[in-house]
């Protein structure tokens, strides 16, 4: 069964049945101002930080048919009262004649028809602005004139989102609303918690005269709150109560009498939900977006922004699902993870337990570099500020305050308070940034370390390069009994939490990869001494991995504090881990025969038709000595689920070995676009990657969860564009090294790189998977397979023959 379809021309996914198995969402705006909009018009909007400045109250855990954050009611007289319905379907759930939710780039447009009334509501945040616009066109498509009233409603959260849920005394005593009625009859409803009345005001307003309003939820629902969102009793009255809340659960509802709408006539209602220091400060923006022409301009600017964003890399391959993902949805998802890290989604509730993740955002940067180099640099700078003087990093931070913490390790008193991988990811992010942009002066930028004196001033600063050196040095020294990096609280796999003294093969390989990057960078900078030192470090760790980590047919994944391996045939559960096999290939530590055997073991023991499992067999029972992984039943999440993020590393490893067919098979079997026909089983949005799919040890094999905010976005984009299509930035230029299914005749890529455009045409006349025979640039044959950066703003033709 399908719930919608892809409209590639409009770059939308169109949902045609609102009763999706779980909410399907979209993102509007950015972390500066914006949030999620679900496919039935609910919204969770915040400014700067979802935990510290939340605006709407979106309660994830409520059933999907319930009001969440925002809706619109329409009504007309019927019998002795009013027929009230929401054109968004939720929360009134009336039968509809038409329902479409267009999930677009930075906007959601709901088109519906109920009772002869057609509504088109476009929801978006104008670029760089602090307001959510709903541009709503209401048309009478019935044969008779209709008297229609329109009542848009918002429910507010206390800005401190956690307090909203855990303090039902303080919060309601502080929440207040004020109405500002203008000569035109328009009304601005202002809302704030008392302590922010002079500094931070939410406003909700529209472009049409308002006859009455309500700001108190209990009065709006009626009967002391025993009315419901599905049928608010106040909407059976001619007018709302014009009540300005002095406390309690604050909402903003504006009643507009649209008058008699003739058949074929359309009324345009534009609502705005914004936040500024004061009502006065928000007036210019309010004035601007009451003007339909300005709204249209903002809409066009948004479209132009996305055109520009996506144009930097466009592909034409023989696979339409791959094209769809690479040209639209995958880079779009990378944009989203860059903004929100793992902070705010349907699954990450944004109450502050997570914030921005150090490891997560470092990887997100790598997926968005081609399209957002400026933002990537800013995010790297933020990350470096939460790296500690000793070279390790804090696990996460609040973007608004830059206050950092140690993540889940805080919850286990005796556990090490760092993760063995966080700081190493940053080395990969910085070098990827340098290769994309050529911005070498960035290395000399001084950035403070996280450690602060008593008054909160940083104790020490270092250049970006210094931060990278310390990251490497931390792991060089932080090793255990086998000379392998200590696990810390965890590595990439957050959920294997072993007693202090355990060692991580993942960290060993990530360290190896980071060292390769340091060697390459030092060579490029002409610092042969540093290059030699890092190369020697690399050899030391390679030898230790060679000596200790091979289990006979594959690599082990950890050693616990007693030296017992995990991810070994000698274990009963968790005998083999996917990351244990892909990473020794990515690090270059694995000798060829072992690399081949390790990937064969992945295919044999971990692959399913719906993706590669993270490990197998699942741990069947809680075991505090292993940690979080055993809190999941076998087949779920890290405990033997198809954890998509890790699939991409296997794909990259396969391309390194030259297995184009296998790499592409793995890529296709997790392509969300291909799930459109099996939503019954899959459940999540088919237009973005989820983090995980239940594995085949779970009775609900194939069920996806945790969509949108996952490192899968970045790595799927990197794996596809840089390793399968093989167009990879290098210090010297754009390297072209595809690894594709042999039956492909070739493909085309349009790639902007350091201020020039390359129209790349790869031909595969001999039907091989890998190996470039010749490259020509504007007709001239190049030595090797690196296209130099021309930086002339012009378009260049690159012909590649495999
Ligand atoms: C989630 C976390 C990520 C972690 C992964 C595996 O995706 O965001 O940081 O690496 O789970 O545990």
Task: Write the pLDDT tens digit of every residue in 422-443.
Answer: 999 999 999 999 999 999 999 9
Q: Which residue has the tokens 């940067």?
A: 365
Would you say 451 and 462 are in contact if contact means Cβ atoms under 8 Å apart?
no
Helix (H, G, I), strand (E, B) or coil at 277: coil
Structure tokens at 753: 């790189």
Res 641 pLDDT > 80: yes
Q: What is the largest CA-CA distance in the chain?
A: 88
Would you say 505 and 512 are in contact if contact means Cβ atoms under 8 Å apart?
no
What is the rounded distance in angstroms from the CA atom of residue 19 to the CA atom of residue 540?
57
- Band (353; pLDDT cuts 50, 70, 90): confident
Q: Which pLDDT tens digit goes with each residue over 534-556?
A: 999 999 999 999 999 999 999 99
Q: How far is CA 246 from CA 190, 243, 251, 515, 750, in A?
A: 12, 9, 12, 60, 58
Res 354 pLDDT > 90: no
Q: Which pLDDT tens digit goes with each residue over 285-319?
A: 999 999 999 999 999 999 999 999 999 999 999 99
Residues 370, 371, 376, 377, CA torsion sign: positive
Does 342 contact ligand 1 (Cβ within 6 A)?
Answer: yes
Average pLDDT over residues 624-653: 97
Structure tokens at 576: 């083999």
Q: What percent of the chain has pLDDT over 70?
A: 100
41 closest CA partner among 104, 117, 121, 106: 121
Exposure string (b/e) for 40-68, b if CB count within 10 Å is 16 or more? bbbbbbbbbbbbbbbbbbbbeeeebbbbb
Mutate to test the pocket of ligand 1, among 406, 492, 629, 716 (most ligand atoms within 8 A of CB): 492
Res 704 pLDDT > 90: yes
Does 364 contact ligand 1 (Cβ within 6 A)?
Answer: no
Res 569 pLDDT > 90: yes
Would you say 466 and 610 are in contact if contact means Cβ atoms under 8 Å apart?
no
Ligand 1 atom nearest 691 alpha carbon: 7
Is 276 catalytic? The answer is: no
Structure tokens at 97: 């004649």
- Band (26; pLDDT cuts 50, 70, 90): very high
Q: Determine which one of 494, 537, 560, 696 is catalytic.
A: 494
Does 360 contact ligand 1 (Cβ within 6 A)?
Answer: yes
pLDDT at 712: 98
- Band (42; pLDDT cuts 50, 70, 90): very high
Does 357 contact ligand 1 (Cβ within 6 A)?
Answer: yes
Does 494 contact ligand 1 (Cβ within 6 A)?
Answer: yes
Cα-Cα end-to-end distance for the chain: 41
Would you say 119 and 267 are in contact if contact means Cβ atoms under 8 Å apart?
no
Structure tokens at 657: 């070995």
Res 413 pLDDT > 90: no
Does 214 contact ligand 1 (Cβ within 6 A)?
Answer: no
- Band (352; pLDDT cuts 50, 70, 90): confident
Ligand 1 atom nearest 643 alpha carbon: 6
What is the rounded distance in angstroms from the CA atom of residue 315 to the CA atom of residue 741?
16
Instruction: Supply the angle between the helices 644-657 and 592-601 in degrees, to the nearest 10.
Output: 140
Distance 637 CA to ligand 1 centre (A): 10
Structure tokens at 117: 């009334």
pLDDT at 412: 85
Average pLDDT over residues 730-750: 98
What is the rounded distance in angstroms from the CA atom of residue 439 to the CA atom of residue 435?
8
Ligand 1 atom nearest 495 alpha carbon: 12
Ligand 1 atom nearest 357 alpha carbon: 9
Does 710 contact ligand 1 (Cβ within 6 A)?
Answer: yes
């Amino acid at each position: 069964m399908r719930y919608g379809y892809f409209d590639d021309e409009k770059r939308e996914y169109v949902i045609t049945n609102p009763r999706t198995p779980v909410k399907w969402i979209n993102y509007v705006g950015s972390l500066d101002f914006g949030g999620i909009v679900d496919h039935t018009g609910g919204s969770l909007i915040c400014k700067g930080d979802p935990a510290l400045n939340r605006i709407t109250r979106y309660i994830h855990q409520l059933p999907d048919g319930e009001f969440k954050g925002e809706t619109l009611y329409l009504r007309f007289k019927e019998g002795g009262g009013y027929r009230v319905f929401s054109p968004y379907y939720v929360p009134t759930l009336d039968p509809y004649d038409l329902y479409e939710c267009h999930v677009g780039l930075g906007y959601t447009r709901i088109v519906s028809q109920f009772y002869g009334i057609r509504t088109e509501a476009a929801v978006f945040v104008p670029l760089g602005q602090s307001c959510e616009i709903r541009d709503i066109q209401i048309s009478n498509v019935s044969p008779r004139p209709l008297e229609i009233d329109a009542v848009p409603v918002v429910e507010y959260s206390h800005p401190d989102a956690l307090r909203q849920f855990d303090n039902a005394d303080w919060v309601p005593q502080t929440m207040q609303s004020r109405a500002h009625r203008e000569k035109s009859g328009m009304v601005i409803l202002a809302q704030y918690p008392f302590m922010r009345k002079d500094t931070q005001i939410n406003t909700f307003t529209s472009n049409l005269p308002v006859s009455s309003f309500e700001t108190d939820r209990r009065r709006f629902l009626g009967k002391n709150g025993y009315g419901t969102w599905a049928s608010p009793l106040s909407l059976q009255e001619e007018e709302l109560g014009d009540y300005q809340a002095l406390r309690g659960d604050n909402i903003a509802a504006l009643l507009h009498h649209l008058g008699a709408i003739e058949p074929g006539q359309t009324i345009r209602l534009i609502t705005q939900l914004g936040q500024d220091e004061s009502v006065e400060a928000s007036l210019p923006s309010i004035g601007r977006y009451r003007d339909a022409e300005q709204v249209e301009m903002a809409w066009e600017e948004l479209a132009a922004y996305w055109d520009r964003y996506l144009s930097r890399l466009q592909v034409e391959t023989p696979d339409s699902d791959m094209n769809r993902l690479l040209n639209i949805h995958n880079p779009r998802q990378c944009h989203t993870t860059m903004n929100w890290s793992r902070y705010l989604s349907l699954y990450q509730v944004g109450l502050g337990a997570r914030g921005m993740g150090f490891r997560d955002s470092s990887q997100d940067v790598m997926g968005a570099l081609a399209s957002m180099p400026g933002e990537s640099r800013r995010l790297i700078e933020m990350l470096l500020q939460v790296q500690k003087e000793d070279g390790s990093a804090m696990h996460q931070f609040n973007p608004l305050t830059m206050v950092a913490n140690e993540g889940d390790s805080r919850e286990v008193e005796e556990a090490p308070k760092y993760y063995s991988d966080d700081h190493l990811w940053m080395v990969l992010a910085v070098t990827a940034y340098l290769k994309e942009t050529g911005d070498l002066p960035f290395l000399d930028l001084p950035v403070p370390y996280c450690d602060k004196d008593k008054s909160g001033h940083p104790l020490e600063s270092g250049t970006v390069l210094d931060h990278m050196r310390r990251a490497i040095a931390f792991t060089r020294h932080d090793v255990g009994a086998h000379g392998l990096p200590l696990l810390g609280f965890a590595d990439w796999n957050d959920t294997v939490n072993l007693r202090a003294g355990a060692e991580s093969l993942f960290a060993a390989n990530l360290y190896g990869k980071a060292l390769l990057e340091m060697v390459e960078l030092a060579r490029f900078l002409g610092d042969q001494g540093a290059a030699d030192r890092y190369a020697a470090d690399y050899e030391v760790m390679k030898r230790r991995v060679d000596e200790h980590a091979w289990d006979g047919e594959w690599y082990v994944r950890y050693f616990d504090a007693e030296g017992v391996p995990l991810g070994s045939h000698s274990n009963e559960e968790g005998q083999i881990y996917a990351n244990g096999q892909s990473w020794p290939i990515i690090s270059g530590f694995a000798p060829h025969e072992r690399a081949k055997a390790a990937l064969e073991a992945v295919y044999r023991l971990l692959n399913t038709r719906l993706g590669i499992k993270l490990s197998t067999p699942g741990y069947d029972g809680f075991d505090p000595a292993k940690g979080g992984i055993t809190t999941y039943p076998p087949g779920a999440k890290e405990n033997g689920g198809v954890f998509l993020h890790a699939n991409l590393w296997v794909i990259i490893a396969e391309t390194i070995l030259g297995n184009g067919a296998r790499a592409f098979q793995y890529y296709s079997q997790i392509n969300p676009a291909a799930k459109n026909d099996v939503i019954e089983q899959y459940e999540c949005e088919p237009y973005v990657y989820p983090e995980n799919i239940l594995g085949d040890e779970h009775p609900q094999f194939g069920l996806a969860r945790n969509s949108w905010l996952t490192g899968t976005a970045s790595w799927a984009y990197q794996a596809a564009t840089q390793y399968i299509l093989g167009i990879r930035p290098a210090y010297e230029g754009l390297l072209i090294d595809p690894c594709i299914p042999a039956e492909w005749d070739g493909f085309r890529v349009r790639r902007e790189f350091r201020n020039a455009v390359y129209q790349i045409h790869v031909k595969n006349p001999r039907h091989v998977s890998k190996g470039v025979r010749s490259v020509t640039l504007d007709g001239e044959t190049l030595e090797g397979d690196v296209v130099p950066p021309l930086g002339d703003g012009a378009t260049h033709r690159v012909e590649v023959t495999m």
